[in-house]
Amino acid sequence: MISLLGVEKTYQRGANQVHALRGLDLEIASSEFTIIMGPSGSGKSTLLHLVGCLDTPSAGQILFEGTDLVQLSSTQRAEFRRRRIGFIFQRFNQIPNLSAQENVELPLLLSGAPRRQAHEQARSALRQVGLAERSSHRPSELSGGELQRVTVARALVNNPDAILADEPTGNLDMETGDQVISMLRHLKDEGRACIVVTHNPELAIPGDSLVYVRDGKRVDSLFREEKGRH
Amino acid sequence: MIMNLATLAWRNIRTRRARSWLTILGMLIGVMAIVTLISIGTGVENAVLQQFEDVGLDVVLLVPKESTFSPSASQIAGEDAIGELRQITGEFSESPESQSSLIGLDDDSTGSEHATGVDLKRLQGDVPEITEAGQIATTVLDLSAGDVSGFVRVMIPSWDLVDRFPGLLGGFAISQGRGFAAASDRGVVLGARAASLTGTTVGDTVTIDGHQLTVIGILEPSRESQVGVNENMVTGRGAEAFRSLSNTDDAAIILQDQAQKLWPNFTMSSIVAIRIRTGVSVTDTIVRINDAVARQGVFMTPVSTQALADNVQRTLGMVKVVLASIAAISLLVGAIGMMNTMYTSVLERTREIGILKSVGAKDRHVLCLFLIDSGLMGLTGGVLGLGLGMGASFLGTRLLGDLIGVTSFLPFFAPWLLLGAIALSFVLGALAGVWPAWHAARLDPVNALAAD
């Protein structure tokens, strides 16, 4: 269970303060596929970064399976990201000089795993996303869909509790995007929480938890009802 | 974990080949310069000091105070005068007077009248620390052998000097025939080059200043001709005497007893070699020798080989420090170049740093990654620089030997130099990466991920 209680996030931009989140409350159950939607600048990516321990809130509390993320030190947050979170980004975020295999190995090598073990696990993760035969290819040699599958493999390789995806289909065509979303739904079925930030309402299907954010606040969760009215 | 980070760092170096090699090049040149200059410098130092050790560091030379032993005496007597022996015509290119005056050992030499008067027995009695002593005089006389004629440097040592101080005569190693066996021995021993240029062999007769002498032996090339105390390294009367005596290649050597019979009225400037007892203070003994010589009314001054060796060592040490400092500057420039590259790399790889942090890299992981990255580049430059530096040292000793004053010696690679060069290159490389790595480690992951 992930709980956000009165979470606020304020950025200092020169002399101005930007309030990205303003007292947001949210609960996400394990094994739930949560879609966070909202207009640009509404604070949805910030929300994802806070849950993923990439950033810290200005106020409020974030509990991840009982662990108060706000209390974690910088080192503990890094440890938390490595062991419990898998990130998927719109820009794929692969290191260009490394092969697909080497990119997927990264979290394992940073965990101190022996190289051979890291190699085997990364290969297995790539096999899981259907890219075993492309493992030696660099990001520049892979298509958008393949890159995103490598990202999914990297997110999976440490067997995390939650997958956080920020616009995972934003740079993909519809068909490839559907494949990626389908992959994520499969991960949810394995018992992981999946939180997907997107602009695309088409991604949601009945049974998903929908969170709508506007101006840093959770507005409602009536997407399904609105969808039903149409 | 470190190995994993090293793996990641190596992957980065490997994939950015052009930039990595250019960065490595800076370090490589610096290390190469240090290794080359220090190993050559140490090689020269060792070779020269070995020469002093061969003579004996317990030896004191008494040299005429007004001696005009020229630093180039051996060159003049050797390369020019003997060179004239090539002339089959028998004609002199220069007059005997001009040759003598150049060497400064003719009868009119200012110090000659004082230099000959040392009573060695009295000196040994006055200074009991003296265990043995020998004497040698040098002059230039005309020589003819068959159709060849010209001038030769004649060295006239006492039997004691030949017997007890062979190192002073460049080792006095015989290559053909025999050496002197006793004080009364007759005949002449020729230096290797003198024999070669006159075309004489053992048993031949040469005429020196009108006297016919049989060649009883020919010397090996003296050590001095291989590794000489160059005039650029050390100056002073003792050093000049040392240089003049230890090169026997162009000389004709006749024992003192025979020379006195051949030239009873000939007065030559002489040098006295003294060995002092082990364990006594060289400095104190020199003072006592100086006093004793003064009491005899002889105008000579004592110079210890130890002092000469110290002088050479000091001079070469200074040269080494200067050269190493220049090399260190190039190493520093290489390190600054590396820092520049690493900082640029951090800026270029900001998003990569964000990615690493998003998959769980701690600040210290990023710090270590960049430190290892720059350290590995430094180490690679160091290892390659060491190898190339060793090669350049061997090449340098061959090509630059004449330029720096020695013609044949080996560079010396001290273990501290080899290990130090590698360690220094890694540490300097890592240090060059400290600031960029610290900057990288402190990057905010969200901002880093947003970088272009």
Q: Is B278 on the interface with A (CB under 8 A)?
A: no
Q: Is B352 on the interface with A (CB under 8 A)?
A: yes
List B145's β-bridge partners, or say none.
Answer: B148
pLDDT band at B406; cut points 50, 70, 90: low
The string of pLDDT tens digits covering residues B238-293 is: 666 666 677 788 899 999 889 988 888 776 668 888 988 888 888 888 889 989 98
Q: Quick one: pLDDT at residue B85?
A: 41
Number of separate domains in chain A: 1
In a domain, A19, yes or no: no
Q: Quick one: pLDDT at residue B112?
A: 37
Give the CATH number of the domain where residue A143 resides: 3.40.50.300
Of B352, B357, B362, the CB nearest to A95: B352
Q: Quick one: pLDDT at residue A122?
A: 94
Average of per-residue pLDDT across A160-187: 87
Q: Quick one: pLDDT at residue B67?
A: 44
Q: Is B129 on the interface with A (CB under 8 A)?
A: no
The string of pLDDT tens digits covering residues B136-158 is: 888 889 999 888 888 999 999 99
Query: B430 φ, ψ to 5°?
Result: -65, -40
Tokens read off for B223: 């050590």
The string of pLDDT tens digits covering residues A83-120 is: 999 999 888 899 988 899 999 999 998 888 898 999 99
- Of all residues in chain A, the one with the smallest CA distance to B350 is A95
Token look-up 């080497």 returns A102
Q: Quick one: pLDDT at residue A223?
A: 47
Taking CB atoms and an 8 Å cutoff, what residues of chain A touch B351?
A: 93
Q: Quick one: pLDDT at residue B239?
A: 65
In a domain, A56, yes or no: no
In a domain, A127, yes or no: yes
Contact B141, B239 (CB under 8 A): no
Q: Do B446 and A98 touch (CB under 8 A)?
A: no
pLDDT band at A57; cut points 50, 70, 90: very high
Range of the structural domain that residue A195 is part of: 28-51+71-229
In a domain, A57, yes or no: no
Q: Quick one: pLDDT at residue A225?
A: 47
Average of per-residue pLDDT across B82-110: 34
Tokens read off for B1: 């974990």
Q: Do A78 and B16 touch (CB under 8 A)?
A: no
Domain positions in chain B are: 2-49+313-450, 59-277
Q: Quick one: pLDDT at residue B102?
A: 27
The string of pLDDT tens digits covering residues B126-137 is: 899 998 888 888
For chains A and B, CB pairs below 8 A equal: 79
Beta strand A209-214 with A33-37 is parallel
Rg for chain B, CA atoms, rounded? 31
pLDDT band at B93; cut points 50, 70, 90: very low
The string of pLDDT tens digits covering residues B64-90 is: 875 444 333 333 333 444 444 433 323
Q: Could you tell me the sign of the dihedral formed by the alpha carbons of B13, B15, B16, B18, in that order?
A: positive
Mean pLDDT (chain B) is 79
Q: How far apart are CA B138 and CA B269, in angstroms?
A: 7
- Of all residues in chain A, the one with the smallest CA distance to B360 is A82
For residue A101, CA distances in Å to A97, A134, A157 come to 11, 8, 11
Taking 90 as the threshold, does the pLDDT of residue A7 lie above it? yes
Q: Quick one: pLDDT at residue B316?
A: 84
pLDDT band at B97; cut points 50, 70, 90: very low
Of A78, A94, A112, the CB nearest to B4: A112
Q: How far apart are CA B242 and CA B234, in angstroms?
A: 11
Mean pLDDT (chain A) is 87
- Of all residues in chain B, the one with the smallest CA distance to A156 is B359
Q: How far apart are CA B131 and CA B118, in angstroms?
A: 16
